[in-house]
Amino acid sequence: VRVLIVYAHPRDDSLCAAALSRAELGLSRAGHEVEVRDLYRLGFDPALSRGEQAPPAESAEATSAVADDVRLLRWAQALVFVYPTWWGGQPAILKGWLDRVLVEGPALACWGRVNRTRPTFGDVRHVVVVTTHGSSKWVNALQGEPGKRVMLRGVRSLVSWRARSRWISAYGLDRSSDTDRTSFLDRVEDFFSSL
Amino acid sequence: VRVLIVYAHPRDDSLCAAALSRAELGLSRAGHEVEVRDLYRLGFDPALSRGEQAPPAESAEATSAVADDVRLLRWAQALVFVYPTWWGGQPAILKGWLDRVLVEGPALACWGRVNRTRPTFGDVRHVVVVTTHGSSKWVNALQGEPGKRVMLRGVRSLVSWRARSRWISAYGLDRSSDTDRTSFLDRVEDFFSSL
């Protein structure tokens, strides 16, 4: 399986960084091909520009700015996101990746009626999210887990409703123990080594 | 009432830009004081940096980077967000404003147990969201309106559960008529002129 990992955390010593390493370890052990987009390291600019917000006919600018991301999307069979949940959702740098890449022009085409779109990449069969939460599971449940909805309803429905999805998350990190963290990392590696 | 408007749209000819103007018109007619943070015009950097993600003791960097925003938060009695809904939520530039400003250090303080925080600004009595959606109301309902949860559960609960909230939104813009848009703008102006 060809796997594209989109990764967003500013610190190398974070639990997300450790989760990324363990995901890569599991995937390489199982013999999968992996490409990582480390958005902080790439200095990815998350703000959709004026030109990109223009109607698609004018948005050649959009397509070229995210050409590498679109090429990798077309190549990928599994789409993996690794990030900390802040304010219930994706860090801005990753939200910007969705805003700029998964839009008409770069990665989507219009289909029939005006607000129907389909991807111009075709072969994604897995959408996987690995994410960490400072607050507890019930606080997140109370807030409605907005970031989970964006990924598992929004992004997955765009990719394909037939794509399999998986949500691997750690909650309550503000008070977690080393055992909690280790068990989360083990779950991550286990999942990817049997993808 | 002292009103802080946080505005995020890259285009001056957008419906959001028109909504901002009408909000300002309504507010000034009613004699309120208004400050606008136009995030695109300010070139606001939405990516939380490595230093800002450090524990609060080390995050003097965080506080100074968003000093103007924090000063305005402390001044404000009403907090208004005007933005287009993309991928079910706030544009990255606005998500980054939440990520960088509404955190421990700049605008929040720890309170008692480790994952309880309280704002260091005190007097916000209204949280108002004005937002536009390309897709229809039922598509957004199906996706669970993640951006609405972030604002009306997450942000409002932080500010104060006693703060009054209002959600003023336009849906289905990809197929809307001039009448729909005009009626949306009228609703915006009416609401703010009677705040």
pLDDT band of residue B58 (cuts 50, 70, 90) is low
Give per-residue burial for A7-23: e unless 16+ CB within 10 Å, then b: bbbbeeeebbbbbbebb
| pLDDT, tens digit, 9 for 90 and up, residues B161-171 | 788 999 999 99
Cβ-defined contact of B146 to A154 (cutoff 8 Å): yes
- Helix count and strand count (H, E) for chain B: 9, 7
| Residue B115 DSSP label | T
CB contact at 8 A, B195 and B1: yes
d(CA B91, CA B47): 12
Identity at A132, one-letter amino acid code: T
Smallest CA-to-CA distance from B82 within B174, B183, B158, B189 is with B189
Q: Given this model, what pLDDT does residue B113 score?
A: 53
Report the candidate in B37, B32, B5, B35 with the shortest Cα–Cα distance to residue B19.
B5
**Is residue A31 scored above 60 in pLDDT?**
yes
Instruction: Give the pLDDT mean for A9-29.
Output: 96
Complex ipTM:
0.90
Q: Identify the residue with better confidence: A108 or A102.
A: A102
List of chain A residues whose C-beta atoms are within 8 Å of the C-beta of residue B87: 95, 98-99, 102, 150, 154-155
Cβ neighbours of B149 in A, within 8 Å: 88, 143-144, 146, 149
Say how far apart CA A57 and CA B75 lie, in whole Å.
Answer: 44
Nearest 5°: CA angle at A70, between A67 and A71?
Answer: 85
Would you say B137 and B167 are in contact if contact means Cβ atoms under 8 Å apart? no
Mutation for testing the A interface, residue in B85, B87, B142, B143 having most A CBs under 10 Å: B87
Q: What is the mean pLDDT of chain A?
A: 88
Q: Look at A157-166, A167-176, A183-192, B16-25 and tell me which has the smallest mean pLDDT.
A: A157-166
B170 bridge partner residues: B132
What is the model's pLDDT at position B109?
67
> CA torsion sign, A144 to A147 to A150 to A156?
negative
Q: What is the mean pLDDT of residues A106-112?
A: 65
Maximal CA-CA distance, chain B: 53
Q: Which residues of B touch A139 (CB under 8 A)?
A: 115
Does residue B107 contact residue B120 with C-beta atoms inside 8 Å? yes
Q: Do B143 and A149 touch (CB under 8 A)?
A: yes
**Cβ-nearest to B144 among A95, A98, A144:** A144
- Report the candidate in B55, B57, B59 with the shortest Cα–Cα distance to residue B70: B59
Q: What is the nearest CA distance from A28 to chain B, expressed in angstroms?
A: 28
Residue A28's contacts (CB-CB under 8 Å, 6 or more residues apart) are: A34
Q: Going by DSSP bridges, is the β-strand pair A164-170/A126-133 parallel, antiparallel, or unpaired? A: parallel
What are the C-alpha distances in Å from B58 to residues B1, B24, B50, B72, B131? 35, 38, 11, 23, 36
pTM over 0.90: yes
Contact A11 B52 (CB under 8 A): no
Identify all chain B residues contacting A113, using CB atoms and an 8 Å cutoff: 175
Q: How far is A75 from chain B (nearest CA, A)?
A: 23
Question: What is the rounded average pLDDT of the residues B96-124?
Answer: 74
Quote the CA–CA distance of A118 and B148 in Å, as a whole number.
25
The Cα A176–Cα B114 span in angstroms is 11
Tokens representing B3 are 């009103």
Cβ contact A99–B87 (<8 Å): yes
Closest CA in chain B for residue A50: B10
